[in-house]
Amino acid sequence: MDLTDTHCHLQFDKLSADLDGMLERAQKTGVNRLICVGTSLKDSLRAAEIARQYKSVWASAGVHPHEASKFQADFAKKEFASLLSQPKVVAAGEIGLDFYKDYAPRLDQEKALRAQIEAALPSGLPFIFHVRDAWFDFWRIFDEYDSLGGVVHSFSSGIKQLNAALERGLYIGLNGIMTFTKDAAQLEAAKQVPLDRLLLETDAPFLTPEPHRGQICEPKHVAATAEFLAGLRGESTGELSKATTDNAVRLFSLE
């Protein structure tokens, strides 16, 4: 298999202590490309540094909605735009709205989302969107801008939101949630994602797939998600692996 983990956090403490070993383990399971995704300005810089260290790693820069209150528009927008021009930074994200836990006030989340969209648009880079219990407001904001492309990361909704994302030309990122969810609507949506719009991810160190629950999630675990989804969707793992890697290379311009 030739797999791509389009969303992991190698800069987080649970993974950063053994980058060499983790990447070696990933390669042994066929994971040959990884995108290290930023969640704050500080760790986005670290993600870019890791990408420069390793041939198989690329990075994204963004401020997660949980961190939205720390995003001071004037200064932060300049720093954010600078991060997007770093070598091997291939996306803006993860950015979005998360109304599930409301770690940041909703107005702050909307302001940070808008500021990052506006700062990133001139770069032409795709976006990595995080949306949790906030679809109505997310689509309201998304539809105010032209030419937004990218992926809905960690998609775990149903057919309605899947169709809304596909109609807007977005890719769909699926991860270990699919291997342990009991929600039939989520699984049905996963079956319906067109193969040319599907991306695989781990969200490592979170969301470890079955049968590895209880372990720290690593990029190598994208292989377990690939095998599960291939069975769910009636595809071979080779077919799903090739298509999702082709999609990742195309969307993120991975060389």
pLDDT band at 74 (very low <50, low <70, confident <90, very high): low
Per-residue pLDDT tens for 96-135? Answer: 999 998 899 999 999 999 999 999 999 999 999 999 999 9
| Domains, the chain | 3-252 (3.20.20.140)
Q: Can you give the three-state secondary structure of 164-202, one letter per residue?
A: HHHHCCCEEEECCHHHHCCCHHHHHHHHHCCHHHEEECC
Give the alpha-carbon dihedral of 210, 214, 218, 222, to 10 degrees: 0
What pLDDT does residue 70 have? 86
Per-residue pLDDT tens for 10-36? Answer: 999 999 999 999 999 999 999 999 999
How much is the pTM?
0.96
What pLDDT does residue 73 have? 64
- H-helix or E-strand spanning residue 159: helix 159-167
